[in-house]
Structure 1
Amino acid sequence: MQRRAAAVYFVLFAVVSAGAYAYVGMAEQPQVDLTGERYSEGDTLTVGDRTYTVASIGDESGELTWTDPAATYTVALEHNSTVSWQIVSWDGQRVERVTLANGSTVEFSGREHRVLLNASADPPTLRLEAVDNRSINTTFERGETLTFEREGQFVPDGTITEIATSEATVSWGSSYLVTIPNETDPATASLVQQQNVTRLLLTDDAVEDSLGTAPDGTQYVQYRNGTQQPLAAYLPDPEVKSLAEGETLQYESNETTVGNITRSAVPLNWTAPRTISVGLSEGQSVDLDAESYFVHFPDSTTVQLAPNTTETRDAYQEAQERIDSHEERKAGLWGVVILSGFAAVLLLGMAYIPSKD
C-alpha cells in the first residue's frame, strides 16, 4: 500500500511539474507597443535641418551621429610655449624644401639608394632601395622623417610633406617661441624662430659639426680653415612672425583667425565640420534638433523613437508592469516545476526504503 500511494503521489507531482513546465514554455512575454519609427544600424533620419545616422545599437543603448558643417574650433598658443613649423604656417615662412624625383638616387645610411614612389598606395609611400642590393630597402610614409644627402646637400631629419607620382617633397623648418608683451591688455603677439644650431652646423660645409667653448664659457663656431666666430655672431637673425587680433594664420592646415589676445595665450579660431554623437538609452528621452523623442529598443538590432508624450510614457510604464508581472509568474512556475519534481523523486525514493520489519 505504501508503494502504491507513493506511486500515485509521484504521478501527481510529475503531472504538476510537467504542466508548470509546459506553461512556462508556452507563455509569451508581453511586448512594449509604442507608436514610432524603428531604425537599424546605418539607417538615417531627418529631424528639422539635421540628418542623423544610427551609428550603433546595443541591448539597451545606442548612438546617433550628425555633422555640424560649421562648428567652431579654438586652440590657444600659450605664452612661452613652442610650436612647430608643421603646425603653424604663413606666406613667406622660412621652410626649406627639396624635391626627390621618382627614380633618382640619394646617399642614405652610407650607400647609394634609388627613390621609388608609390602615390597610389594608401597611404602613399616613398621607398629607398639600395642600388647595389635591392633587398636592402626602407619605406617611408608622408609625415615621417629621414636623413640623406643629395648632390652634396645634406638633409638631416627632413620631413616628407608630399608624395606624388613623379616626385616627393622633403621639408624642414624651425620651432617658434610664442611671446606676448607684458601688458594689461595686449593686442599683439609674436612667433620667434628658435635656431636649430645642430642643423645649421651639419648643413654648413664651411664649419665643423660641433661647437667650441671658450674659457669664459662663450660658445663659438669652428671654421674648417682654422678661424673661429662667436655663436651669437654666426647665427642668422631669427624669423619673427607678428600676430594681431583679427589676422589669419594657418594652423594644422586650417585657416584660423587670431582672437582676443591675453597675457597668457593667443587664441586661434576657425570653423570646420564636426561629427557630434547623441547617446540613446532604453526608456529615456532624447532631444533631436529641439524635438523630444522617447527611446525604446525592441531588440538588440533595432531602436524605436516615439514622440515623447504623456501617452507614450504611460504606455511604456504599463507595458513594463505587465512584463514584470509576467516575469514574477514565470519565476513562480519555475519554483513549482523544481519543487514538484523534487517531491516526486523524494516520495518515490522513500517508498522503496527497506522496512525494518
Structure 2
Amino acid sequence: MQRRAAAIYVIFFVLVAIGAYSLTTVAQQPSVSVDGQNYSQGDTIRADGTQWTVNVMDGEGNLSSVNESARFTGSLANNSSLLFSEGEYRPAPNGSGGGAGTGTGSASPSASPGGPGTPGTTGTGVSTGEGASNDSATRFLVAVPNASGSNGSGGNATNVTSFTLRQQFETSERLREDPSVADVTLTAENGTQYVRYRNGTSQRLDEYLPAPEVRNVSVGDSFPYKNNSTTVESINTSGATLTWEGRLTRSQDFEEGTNVTLGGTKYVAHFPENSTLTLSENVSGYQAEQAAVAGFNNRILGLWGIVIISLFAAVLIIALAYMPVRG
C-alpha cells in the first residue's frame, strides 16, 4: 500500500514537471523592436552643426566627432611657477618651490620691454630644473602687479593689463655646485639669509644670487604654452586667462539600451544586429518592451524551477518508498 501511494505521487510530480517543461518549449519570447534610424559602421550623423561618426562592432559602439578648431582656455594663477625650456612654458610640478633664494636681485618689471619668450633684463641665466624631466628648464614665478595690495589699494587692483615672469633660483643646488661656499645658508635673527664662504666670510644671499631674468607679458601677447600657440586673453589680480585653438575629439560610448543625447534630443541605442545600430526617440516604448522581455524570462525561470523541484520530489519519494522497514 505504501509503495502504491508513492507511485501515485511520483506520477503526479512527473506530470507536473512534463507540463512545466512543455510550457517552456512553446512559449514565444517577446522581441524588442523600436522605430528609428538605422546606422552601420562609418555612417555619419549631423546634429546642431556637429558631425558624428558611427562606430559599431559586436553589438556595441560609439559616436565620435572631431573639431579641428576648438577653443580652449587655461589659467595661470598668481604666484604659481612655470618651467621654460626649448622655447615653451609648462606648469611646474606641485610642491616644487624655487627654494629660499627666489629672484631678489636689482631687476625690475619696468626694465623688461620684451614680450613673452623674449628676455627682458638680462641676468646670469641659471638652470634650475627641479621637479622637471629636463634639467635645462628655467623656473619662473608668475607675478601680477598689485595682486597683494601692497600699494595701499587694498588688493582690489583694476585695469591690470600685464604680469611678470620672474626667474627663480634653486639655492641649494647652486650652493652644492659652488665649491667656494657651504652647502647651507645662514639665517640672521631679522630673517636675512647669508651665504657662508669656506674662507670664513659671508655675504647676503640676495647679493650672492645673480640678477633674475624678468619678462613682461601683456594682454594680447602670444604665449608659448604647452605646445600651443596661446594668447593672453585677460589678466586680473588672481592671475591670467589663456586661450588657444586645437583639435578636440569627443566620444559617446554605448551598448544595448544606453541613452544617447544628440543635439538636445534623447535617443535609445538598440542593436537589431551586431553590425547595425538603431537610434530611437521612443525611449519609453523601448523600456516597456525590455520590461516585457524581463518578465517573460522570469516566468521561464519559474517554470524551470517547477521542473527541477518536481523531479527532485519524485526521486525523493521513490527513495523513501523503498527504504527498508524495521520489524
TM-score under structure 2 length normalisation = 0.66
Give the letter aligned to residue 146 of structure 2. P
Offset of residue 2 of structure 1: 4.7
User: Aligned with 2:32: secondary structure?
Assistant: coil
**Structure 1, unpaired ranges of 5+:** 98-153, 162-169
Cα separation, partners in 2 of 1:335 and 1:216, compared to 1, 3 Å: closer
What is the aligned partner in structure 2 of residue 250 from structure 1? 224
Write the mapping of 1:1-357 to structure 2, written as runs, cut at 5 A: 2-21=2-21, 23-24=23-24, 27=27, 29-35=29-35, 36-37=37-38, 43-48=41-46, 49-52=50-53, 54=55, 63-86=62-85, 88=89, 90-93=116-119, 171-182=136-147, 183-201=157-175, 207-208=180-181, 210=183, 213=186, 219-220=193-194, 229-280=203-254, 282-283=256-257, 285-289=259-263, 292-297=266-271, 304-309=277-282, 313-314=284-285, 316-317=286-287, 319-352=289-322
Moved more, 11-20 or 250-259: 11-20
Give the letter aligned to residue 14 of structure 1. V
Cα separation, partners in 2 of 1:4 and 1:240, compared to 1, 3 Å: same
How many residues were matched structurally?
283
What is the aligned partner in structure 2 of residue 147 from structure 1? none
Offset of residue 184 of structure 1: 2.8
In 1, Cα distance between equivalents of 2:288 and 2:189: 89
Identity over aligned pairs, percent: 31
Deviation per CA, 1:153-194: give whole Å up to 9, x if none.
x98869775xxxxxxxx6242332433324134222111111
Offset of residue 332 of structure 1: 3.4
8 Å Cα contact 1:69-1:273 kept in structure 2: yes
In 1, Cα distance between equivalents of 2:128 and 2:79: 27
8 Å Cα contact 1:286-1:293 kept in structure 2: yes
Cα separation, partners in 2 of 1:225 and 1:327, compared to 1, 3 Å: closer
In 2, Cα distance between equivalents of 1:95 and 1:56: 60
Offset of residue 337 of structure 1: 0.9
Cα separation, partners in 2 of 1:350 and 1:224, compared to 1, 3 Å: closer
Cα separation, partners in 2 of 1:91 and 1:354, compared to 1, 3 Å: closer
Moved more, 208-217 or 326-335: 208-217
8 Å Cα contact 2:56-2:62 kept in structure 1: yes
**Structure 2, unpaired ranges of 5+:** 91-115, 148-156
Cα separation, partners in 2 of 1:213 and 1:354, compared to 1, 3 Å: closer
User: Aligned with 2:290: secondary structure?
Assistant: helix
Deviation per CA, 1:304-331: give whole Å up to 9, x if none.
332314xx753x3553354244224313
What is the aligned partner in structure 1 of residue 106 from structure 2? none
User: Aligned with 1:340: secondary structure?
Assistant: helix
8 Å Cα contact 2:81-2:139 kept in structure 1: no
User: Aligned with 1:72: secondary structure?
Assistant: strand
User: Aligned with 1:246: secondary structure?
Assistant: coil
Deviation per CA, 1:202-232: give whole Å up to 9, x if none.
5567x43646649777555567888765433
Offset of residue 338 of structure 1: 3.1
TM-score under structure 1 length normalisation = 0.61
In 1, Cα distance between equivalents of 2:76 and 2:293: 57
Cα separation, partners in 2 of 1:78 and 1:155, compared to 1, 3 Å: closer
8 Å Cα contact 2:141-2:168 kept in structure 1: yes
Say which structure is richer in strand: 1
In 2, Cα distance between equivalents of 1:197 and 1:317: 66
In 1, Cα distance between equivalents of 2:20 and 2:241: 72
In 2, Cα distance between equivalents of 1:160 and 1:238: 22
